[in-house]
């Protein structure tokens, strides 16, 4: 009886050891299976990232339908590959270790493919951004040097995500130049340079006609100042809504917007001086009306009867000359500030 018990105990111990080994092998296979699934999932995630990158680029440079089809195809192919490798390793060869090897190969392939897509996309965007920055600086240089800017169509394949900004800037510069040309034409048409000529001061009728021109000029300044302000505000607002590269937004765009706001302030200061000049001329005209009959125009010169009137007239002229110099200085200041900003852009290429 003792021998039988020993035999049974030995068999029981052997069976327990065998069961332990079987359970251990099953646990190992289960772990390898789970690990394989994780690797496949990571590989699929990388493939989805690649599909997203391709979708984003294709939808922008080609069209959304094409991009969606391309991205969907990429994901479907990835799922088919995963399914094929899974079936091959579990049904055909029935080896969990092989499944792990396939999952690792798939993960590495997805990693390499996605990494290459990211690098290629980054290099492409850098090239397009540089082309766009160069084009922007070229347009700005043309505007600063007061050369005519023509309307252009910008190709997305050449300038990338900066294309809308270039179109906006091109339109802005064209409108800015048009305003500058319009105000010059409107003012030139008034022939204000003749309002203080001796012949224009020879009669009450001529003087009153000159005063009307001064009033018309004030309206021109008011109109164009409003249009200038609206143009700059609309540009900065529109530019802020564009999806642009972060490096450009934080650098060149903010710098350009700041320079345009500074230009707006300088234009306001400039127009204030222009209005002061108009006020001065208007005062001279009022003075000439007040001394009608006390001076004569002879040989294109004004001859006052009293020295007091002559001195008063000369004071007005001296004040006018001071304002004219201030006008010249402000013009130069506006040009110099724009030139300085242009140099900053060139240095930050």
78 contacts 14 by C-beta, under 8 angstroms: no
- Distance between CA atoms of 235 and 240, rounded to whole angstroms? 9
List, for residues 112-153, the tens digit of each pLDDT value: 777 777 777 778 888 888 888 889 888 888 888 888 888 999
| Cβ–Cβ < 8 Å for 55, 71 | yes
Nearest of 152, 20, 29 to residue 89 by alpha carbon:
29
pLDDT by residue (tens digit) across 68-89?
666 577 667 666 666 666 666 5
> What pLDDT was estimated at residue 122?
77
Report the alpha-carbon distance of residue 168 to residue 242 in Å, rounded: 10
* Domain boundaries of the chain, sorted by first residue: 2-130, 145-347
In this prediction, residue 99 carries a pLDDT of 65
d(CA 109, CA 115): 10
Whole-Å CA distances, 39 to 46, 78, 91: 11, 13, 19
Lowest mean pLDDT among 95-109, 140-154, 242-256, 326-340: 95-109
Q: pLDDT tens, 265-323?
A: 888 899 999 999 999 999 999 999 999 999 999 888 999 999 999 999 999 999 999 99
Residues 287, 90: Cα–Cα separation, whole Å: 107
What are 276's two structure tokens? 């002061």
Please tell me the pTM assigned to this model: 0.69
CA distance 290 to 303: 15
Whole-number CA gyration radius for the chain: 40
pLDDT tens digits along 9-58: 444 444 444 443 434 444 555 566 677 677 767 777 777 777 676 666 65
Report how far Cα 216 is from the mean position of its chain's Cα atoms.
38
Question: Considering only CA atoms, which of 114, 116, 103 is closest in space to residue 47?
Answer: 114
Element (H, E) at 302: strand 301-304
Cβ neighbours of residue 294 closer than 8 Å, sequence gap 6 or more: 304, 305, 306, 309
More confident residue, 189 or 347: 189
The kind and range of the H/E element at 296 are: strand 295-298
Catalogue the long-range contacts made by 330-336 (C-beta closer than 8 Å, 24 or more residues apart): 330/266, 330/269, 330/270, 330/273, 331/270, 333/266, 334/263, 334/266, 334/267, 334/270, 335/144
> What whole-number distance in Å separates Cα of residue 260 and Cα of residue 233?
9
Q: Is the confidence at residue 66, as pLDDT, over 60?
A: no
pLDDT for 256 beyond 50? yes
């Amino acid at each position: 009886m003792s021998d039988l018990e020993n035999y049974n105990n030995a068999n029981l111990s052997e069976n327990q050891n065998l069961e332990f080994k079987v359970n251990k092998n099953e646990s190992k296979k289960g772990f390898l299976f789970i690990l394989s699934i994780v690797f496949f999932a990571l590989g699929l995630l990388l493939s989805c990232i690649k599909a997203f990158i391709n979708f984003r680029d294709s939808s922008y440079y080609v069209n959304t339908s094409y991009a969606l089809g391309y991205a969907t195809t990429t994901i479907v192919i990835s799922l088919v590959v995963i399914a094929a490798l899974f079936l091959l390793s579990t049904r055909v060869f029935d080896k969990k270790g092989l499944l792990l090897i396939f999952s690792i190969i798939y993960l590495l392939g997805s990693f390499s493919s996605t990494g290459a897509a990211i690098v290629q996309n980054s290099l492409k965007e850098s090239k397009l951004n540089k082309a766009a920055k160069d084009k922007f600086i070229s347009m700005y240089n043309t505007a600063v040097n007061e050369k005519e800017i023509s309307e252009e169509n910008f190709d997305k394949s050449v300038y990338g995500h900066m294309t809308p900004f270039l179109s906006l800037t091109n339109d802005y510069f064209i409108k800015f130049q048009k305003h500058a040309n319009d105000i010059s034409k409107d003012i030139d048409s008034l022939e204000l340079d003749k309002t203080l000529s001796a012949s224009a001061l020879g009669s009450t009728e001529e003087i009153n006609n000159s005063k009307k021109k001064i009033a018309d000029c004030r309206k021109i300044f008011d109109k164009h100042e409003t249009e200038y302000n609206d143009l700059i505000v609309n540009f900065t607002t529109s530019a802020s809504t564009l999806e642009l590269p972060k490096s450009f937004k934080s650098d060149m765009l903010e710098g350009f917007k700041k320079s345009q706001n500074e230009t707006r302030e300088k234009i306001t200061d400039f127009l204030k001086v222009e209005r002061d000049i108009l006020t001065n001329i208007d005062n001279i005209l009022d003075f000439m009306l007040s001394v009608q009959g006390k001076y004569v125009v002879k040989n294109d010169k004004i001859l006052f009867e009293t020295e007091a009137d002559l001195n008063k007239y000369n004071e007005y002229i001296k004040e006018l000359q001071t304002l004219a110099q201030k006008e010249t200085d402000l013009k130069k200041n506006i040009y110099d500030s724009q030139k300085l900003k242009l140099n900053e852009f060139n240095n930050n290429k």
